[in-house]
Amino acid sequence: MPLTAERFAPYGDVIAPTIAAAQAMNDGRFERFADLARVDFDAANNGHVALSIARSRNPTTFPYRFDLVERHPQGSQAFVPLGAFAFVVVVAPPGESVARQDLRAFVTNGNQGINYHRGTWHLPLIAMAERQAFLVIDRAPADGNCEERVFEQPVVLDAP
């Protein structure tokens, strides 16, 4: 379904300009949509916030079959598209376990990024075209910050 801030609230934040958040900055030469998402991270063991880029090699084809979800127990993770393109987000609420009936699929409107809250279950990034780049804002180092669950039967995701 279409991604909105309200629908995504149990899982994370939507990063997009909204009229409500607009403020003037730099003498009115810019609009600022401030504090759209907060980066949450565990600072222990040299934990810090890193900026990275992820770029798709191969587009995902639909129907897409997957059996693996992941979560990051040590911090939030944001993906912001570096261009105007839509992508698909599949999530389930934070918690020790995850069931396939808890999964929800959202499609962005082409101008939205997302920030998974710490512990939100999600599919690895899904891109719908080649060489689409995302800025990634998450905790580094990555060691120990990814848990995975594998479903016995694959989940089938239809084209959005």
Which residues contact a second copy (rule: CB under 8 A)?
13, 15-17, 25-39, 41, 43, 48-58, 60, 78, 80-84, 113, 115, 124-125, 127, 133, 135-137, 140, 142
Query: Quick one: 103 or 126, whose CB is closer to a second copy?
Result: 126
Shortest distance in whole angstroms from residue 35 CB to a second copy: 4
CA 47 from centre of chain: 20
Q: How far is the CB of 37 from a second copy (least distance, A)?
A: 4
| Cβ distance to a second copy smaller for residue 40 or 92 | 40
Q: Is residue 135 within 8 Å of residue 51, measured between CB atoms?
A: yes
Closer by beta carbon to a second copy, 28 or else 63: 28
Whole-angstrom distance, CA of residue 76 vs CA of residue 147: 13
Q: How far is the CB of 14 from a second copy (least distance, A)?
A: 11
The number of angstroms, rounded, from the C-alpha of 79 to the middle of its chain's C-alpha atoms is 5
CB 69 within 8 A of CB 121: yes
Least distance to a second copy, CB of residue 23, Å = 9
